[in-house]
Chains A and B, each alone.
Chain A
């Protein structure tokens, strides 16, 4: 079996969107998500020697990140002492924002569709790793961030027909990758 190798210089290009999306649905705060990912990268660099290459780099980084997220909730929980302090509890809807609800069980939310959408987002971003860096970047700008064709062409110094060729390849690859589980 071929083992996976670490290439830390590529982490940001390859995985940062995946890690970010993973974090933001769990902590719902951009600043905090950025901090947790920074910590994850640094922890990853420190423990690179322990990486056996049995999992993919991404899985390994995610396992570090998960621990960081759990640690974060643990800390914020213990700071508040008894966790059941209400912050914005709302009687009308059943979406009471109890800290208790916010804190411990982020990994098994009850709302099934929310969970499915999280998984879907992760699946799409994972499939994007099959694209090369430039393709992935252009596809994300166009499709997820919604930039104009013109703006992207200027940034990458390509013609619109170049752009559409890249988009076409990316869409074909992604559709194939997602077909089995999601179509």
Chain B
């Protein structure tokens, strides 16, 4: 491969850039390459739109998860209860 990276990327790389972009971690070059790929790849356009929709839904849902320490406590409680019965 030449040192200069090519602008044309395959689907798996486009998917990877698209994922990173959902977390705002894609670089400008990555975004550019992805957009270029999307122009001619229908499959990735679909993935990309689903991916953005998923991000949107997750933000909208405002999910609350509980901290690990609490989970550990529950695990202990359950284990204790199982061994005692």
Q: Do A and B come from one complex?
A: yes
- A residues with CB within 8 A of B: 8-9, 11-13, 16-17, 20-21, 24-25, 30, 33-34, 37-38, 41-42, 45, 117, 120-121, 124-125, 140, 142-145, 149, 164, 167-168, 171-172, 174-175, 178-179, 182-183
* Contact A41 to B63, CB < 8 A, known contacts A120-B57, A168-B15, A175-B50: no
Question: With the chains together, A34 CA to B40 CA distance in Å?
Answer: 50
* Contact A120 to B82, CB < 8 A, known contacts A16-B66, A171-B19, A171-B22: no
Decide if A149 touches B25 in the complex (CB within 8 Å): yes
Prevailing SS type, chain A contact patch:
helix
Decide if B54 touches A34 in the complex (CB within 8 Å): no
The 9 closest A-B pairs by CB, nearest first: A121-B61, A20-B66, A175-B50, A120-B61, A17-B65, A121-B63, A24-B64, A12-B74, A12-B75
Question: With the chains together, A120 CA to B85 CA distance in Å?
Answer: 38
**CB-contact partner of B81 in A24, A42, A174, under 8 A:** A42
Chain B residues with a Cβ closer than 8 Å to the other chain, count: 32
- Decide yes or no whether B60 CB sits under 8 A from chain A: yes
Interface centre among A25, A145, A175 (most CB of B within 10 A): A175
Q: Can you name 5 A-B pairs with beta carbons within 8 Å?
A: A8-B82, A16-B71, A121-B62, A164-B19, A168-B15
* Contact A11 to B78, CB < 8 A, known contacts A16-B71, A120-B61, A144-B58: yes
Instruction: Report A177 CB to chain B, min CB distance, Å.
Output: 10
